[in-house]
Amino acid sequence: MISLQENISLSNYTTIRTGGPARWFITCKTEASILEALAYASSNKLKVLTLGAGSNLLVSDQGFDGLVIQVALDHISFKDSGLVVAGGGVNWDHFVKATCLHGLTGIESMSGIPGNVGATPVQNVGAYGQEVCETIVQVNAINIKDFSKRIFSAKECAFAYRNSRFKTSDKDLWLITEVTFQLNESSLPNPQYDELLKSLASDPLWSTGDRFQKIMTLREHVLKIRSSKGMVLNHSDSDTYSLGSFFMNPIVSTSEKVRIFQLAADKGLPRQPTAHSAGDNLWKLSAAWLIENSGIKKGDMIQSARVSTKHVLALTNPSNACTSDILALAAHIKKSVHNMFAVELIQEPVFVD
């Protein structure tokens, strides 16, 4: 028999610390308890919200009038030839650290990203040139409506930039219980972004260390960079009470990239925006550059919501902000960017009402 909690404040379960109460709440450490919880929700005609670490979830101030299932399946299993299986409730950075300590490459540049393993396929999480779609072999999930189990191949997940079927066509349909990754036992870490390369260049271990030392050195530098931007959760620093990057880097055509570069030059902006090829004549622009050059500054506030003092992509809750404050600040930033560059920023966190 499952044990449910009632009227639990979801602000205690999201990294931005906002959100109203869940009508019902349960933490599930086994698949059996998940199935029981889903059956209860079905028989009582309750909406279901699955919760991991709450690092990409913006919950309405009114809360969630249904059942919140916190997934706490926390197993990790290292197989042969770099195959690794992790439960959906495993802390992502703990998982990355464990794979690095096993001398595996493929996800080391994603160190420090908040959240749990089960959330990574939904968003196709990525950082510093790596995305989880490059290493995911399969995703195990339970259908929230009929309780059936299914194993999705990587191809069936329909991964795209910060996207997947679990965020689009199958939104709110599947609860992810386990993810299998194919990592590499012999390749060297291969950092892609200039910021990370510059940081590594100053570390003698990066140039002289053995393969294992290079893996751990890269991880340390990623964590250092993310921490400097307030992108690693620190309970003693309210500037990290955020949902990480609030906006995705926009994908634009070559003609749009040229237009924005020319606009930057015409306006005498101090530097050109960063652009990385996204294939098929498309380019990924820096959302942070667009925000900074549209008049938004670090530390800007609306009500009690604040742009991080460390990085403009993070919207923070330094004291007693509510979700409506965060949304108002986000809307102000989007409008500023659109007015300056005619580019629509897309919100990355999932909004739940």
Task: Name residues whose C-beta falls within 8 Å of residue 351's C-beta, 6 or more positions apart in sequence.
Answer: 58, 59, 60, 327
Residue 202 token pair: 């100053």
Can 259 be counted among the known catalytic residues?
no
C-alpha neighbours within 13 Å on the C-beta side of residue 160 = 12
The alpha carbon dihedral of 136, 141, 144, 145 has a sign of positive
Q: With beta carbons less than 8 A apart as the criterion, state whether 348 and 56 touch.
A: yes
CA distance 16 to 7: 19
Where do the DSSP E strands lie in 111-160? 126-127, 130-131, 136-143, 149-153
Can 348 be counted among the known catalytic residues?
yes
Can 185 be counted among the known catalytic residues?
no
Query: Which listed residue (55, 245, 308, 336) is catalytic?
Result: 245
Which of 128, 136, 134, 144 lies closest to 176, judged by CA? 144
Query: Which listed residue (11, 60, 131, 162) is catalytic?
Result: 162
Catalytic positions are 162, 245, 348
